[in-house]
């Protein structure tokens, strides 16, 4: 099987950075605009950014963890 171009540790650190960025973004947005409800349609764009960052972070972390 071919070796990965990036080491597992680099992928894991980048994935954790994405997760932390998503949480900080959600917290800053909530404090700035006093909007904590993800299911509200008022700030759907900000929450879609949060979900994409968090999703890629979790997915990358899981892939780096279970990679051979």
pLDDT for the residue 4: 67
H helix or E strand, kind and range, residue 65: helix 44-65
H helix or E strand, kind and range, residue 32: helix 8-33
pLDDT for the residue 2: 60
pLDDT for the residue 59: 95
| Measured CA distances, 39 to 23, 45, 60, 62 (Å) | 16, 12, 25, 26
Please tell me the pTM assigned to this model: 0.82
pLDDT for the residue 40: 77
pLDDT per 10-residue tile (average), the chain, 68 residues:
73 95 92 80 86 96 81
**Rounded-to-integer distance, Cα 68 and Cα 21, Å:** 27
pLDDT for the residue 67: 61
């Amino acid at each position: 099987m071919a070796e990965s171009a990036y080491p597992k540790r680099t992928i894991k650190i980048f994935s954790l950075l994405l997760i932390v960025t998503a949480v900080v973004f959600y917290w800053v947005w909530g404090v700035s605009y006093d909007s904590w409800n993800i299911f509200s349609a008022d700030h759907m764009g900000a929450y879609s950014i949060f979900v994409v960052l968090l999703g890629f972070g979790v997915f990358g972390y899981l892939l780096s963890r279970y990679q051979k």
